[in-house]
């Protein structure tokens, strides 16, 4: 003789059905949240990315000769500070595109080694403000609030002195692939150093 009555088996099947329904709903909510998070992150990264800034960049040789002031940014795709600033730089580029050049130089490209040495790039992002004649006016290093960058760019396009000419913020450390070599210079040379490219193995 069975100890389960029809009433007890009905309760067990409702309990099992309830658990399955609850688990199904939890799975559906988790999938929906995961999808929303994925799409949200994808939209954010595609709207203002370093790659897009680089594609829209004015070539350096054009920027120093076209009669417009320029903002040169030394960056790298792996630089978290550069990535953080990309939306602000994109917005500023949209505002000032007709008045000035925006130049993006990737420090991972050995082609820009002479410029990295010239501007002593040891942390990124590294910003160089150039006059209409292509002469260096000021440099800023690291994370810059949008308001400070906007004030500097406004001064740059109007030919005024930059209010935040030597600003510095959080940087991603970077070392150019060069090092001074020991030399047997004449003592009268006052320590002139020769730079050579290190073997990057």
Three-state SS letters, 68-118: CCEEEEEECCCCHHHHHHHHHHHHHHHHHCCCCEEEEEECCCHHHHHHHHH
Marked catalytic residue, from 79, 85, 89, 100: 79
Marked catalytic residue, from 50, 60, 82, 138: 82
Contact of 60 with 122, CB cutoff 8 Å: no
Our answer to whether residue 145 is catalytic in this structure is no
Measured CA to CA, the distance from residue 11 to residue 16 in angstroms comes to 9
User: What would the DSSP string read from start to end of 9-76?
Assistant: HHHHHHHHHHHHHHHHHHHHHHHHHHHHHHHHHHHHHHHS-HHHHHHHPPPHHHHTTSSS-EEEEEE-
Our answer to whether residue 82 is catalytic in this structure is yes
- Catalytic residue list: 79, 82
């Amino acid at each position: 003789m069975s100890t389960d009555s029809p009433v007890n088996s009905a309760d067990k099947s409702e309990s099992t059905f309830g658990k399955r329904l609850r688990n199904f709903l939890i799975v559906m909510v988790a999938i929906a949240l995961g999808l929303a998070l994925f799409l949200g992150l994808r939209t954010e990264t595609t709207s203002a990315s370093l790659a897009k800034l680089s594609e829209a960049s004015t070539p350096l040789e054009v920027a120093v000769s076209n009669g417009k002031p320029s903002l040169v940014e030394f960056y790298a795709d792996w630089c978290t500070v550069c990535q953080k600033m990309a939306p602000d730089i994109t917005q500023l580029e949209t505002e000032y595109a007709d008045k000035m050049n925006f130049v993006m130089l990737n420090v991972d490209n050995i082609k820009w080694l002479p410029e990295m040495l010239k501007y002593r790039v040891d942390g990124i992002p590294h910003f160089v403000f150039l006059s209409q004649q292509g002469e260096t006016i000021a440099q800023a290093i690291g994370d810059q609030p949008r308001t400070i960058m906007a004030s500097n760019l406004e001064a740059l396009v109007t030919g005024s002195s930059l209010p935040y000419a030597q600003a510095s913020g959080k940087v991603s450390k970077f070392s150019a692939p060069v090092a001074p070599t020991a030399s047997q210079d004449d003592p009268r040379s006052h320590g002139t150093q020769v730079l050579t490219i290190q073997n990057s193995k």
